[in-house]
Structure 1
Amino acid sequence: MAAFNLTLSRPSTFILNGIPGLEAAHIWISIPFSTFYIISLLGNFTVLFVVSKEQTLHKPMFLLLCMLALTDIGLSTCVVPKALCIFWFRFKDITVDGCLTQMFFLHAVSGMHTAVLVIMAFDRYVAICDPLRYGTILTDARIAKLGLVGLIRAFFVVLPQPLLLQRLPFCSNRVIPHTYCEHIAVVKMFCGDTTVSQLYSLVISVVTVGLDLTLIGLSYGLIIKAVLRISSKKAHQKALNTCTAHICVMLMSYTPFLFTTLTHRFGHGIASHVHILLANLYVVVPPMLNPIIYGVKTKELRDKVGKYICRM
């Protein structure tokens, strides 16, 4: 009878509790959080605007940069508006369907983000190891097809997650100790056997990120091998400089992602508010820094952005 009462009522909403233990500091936390989000939107929309306006930037590298900017906008926008509603207005309710939808888009955009990083690594490999055929190998159409493959992969890999959860009964507890509907946090709201859902999530995370990191590592292994064949130190530096921005973006993206994922699953000794803060930093800091990194390290883009700023 107790078990029956526990799962009898199917709630229409969940409650996102924000950052547990730091509720009194939500307003103060929202200041850097919202600032990072605004900078992220300005930076990424600037990249999209400048590349779309400048014909000379209609090249594979900059088209990939636009894809990265779109995923950065999507990643932060999936989370930040709702989180700010919690911080500022205490609007904590979210419908069950809305929660599962947010979870789906968050993980799908993350999957697309890592796919774009793989394509960018391939772009750098072709640019350094086969520069004479760069224009014929990486055409605009091929970049679009690779991006579409990444999007389709992200969609179909993530889709089973909300579908598996929809079939399970709810527990009486409706409070999610998080600012957004992250998969592991949402799984705890269900009373049925969540082994399949959790195992599927773990497997796709390991396989997808593992495969993407392997492909990126292979690309850079071939790049290093090609660079070492060059006798000129100046040519070494020039070749490696073309990869610096991409390497920085990868470190900014994968490091917090892996750390957050591992601590959520295995870091039981870490305080819950630390988990949540790290998870929030993952969705705002890399999207904020990525356009800045590329703006600083890519002269063509920096010059074009500077031109539009001077016109203002």
Structure 2
Amino acid sequence: RSGVNIYAWMPVLSWDLDPTLTRVKYLPTGEKKAQIHPEQYRRLSPFDDRVRAQVGMLYEDLAGHAAFDGILFHDDALLSDYEDASAPAITAYQQAGFSGSLSEIRQNPEQFKQWTRFKSRALTDFTLELSARVKAIRGPHVKTARNIFALPVIQPESEAWFAQNYADFLKSYDWTAIMAMPYMEGVAEKSADQWLIQLTNQIKNIPQAKDKSILELQAQNWQKNGQHQAISSQQLAHWMSLLQLNGVKNYGYYPDNFLHNQPEIDVIRPEFSTAWYPKND
């Protein structure tokens, strides 16, 4: 009735499944034993065949029991430059021609670059495998989108820290949802506008990128101590206006606390709804 398309926002790797399934492990410099990162998403390893099979079945269950227009793959599909050091991952690296030692890979610039691309493609291929399972049940019309952190867009070389590649995303999905969240990236309040402009300029430098990207603004300032703060509706509306002035047509925000009207709908509506007109209020 309202013309809204529903996308199921789904985890890729952060599932609380059988504890015997392989988890992503990281191996910091100087350490001998790989471990699960204590501060990062607790992720299943995409290089474990059992993981791929079980996650695939979850997506098939969703497709068979819910109606939706698309899938949005969560930002948990990432691997740092110290990951994945799990046994199945090491085996996959060796089969692809890499050293079985992460430290050796990291010490070889060319191998490190190729290893980064290998991991990025592995994550993308897994999401495409999941979308194929969904489309096999719900039909080929189902759209795909995937979250990407802002840094791999602004600084493509930071792909090494995320195993996320903006160019790959643009080719692989109908939409790329860029996490345009300055405070989450540690940007000071006074520099947030310039940071957003820098991000939009980078997008505009790539042909067709603007038309396939959605900028996802933050409506909350997350804190490590858990004392999260709502961002004012006026600030959010200002960012929306700034994006428009810089040629961005597709944007959204997260989270939406509709129970407490945060952000305030009357404040953001002029910048958010194409159907808004003052006399309709």
Report the TM-score when normalising by structure 2. Answer: 0.28
The structure whose RCO (Cα within 8 Å, separation 6+) is larger is 1
Structure richer in helix, relative to its length: 1
Larger Rg: 1
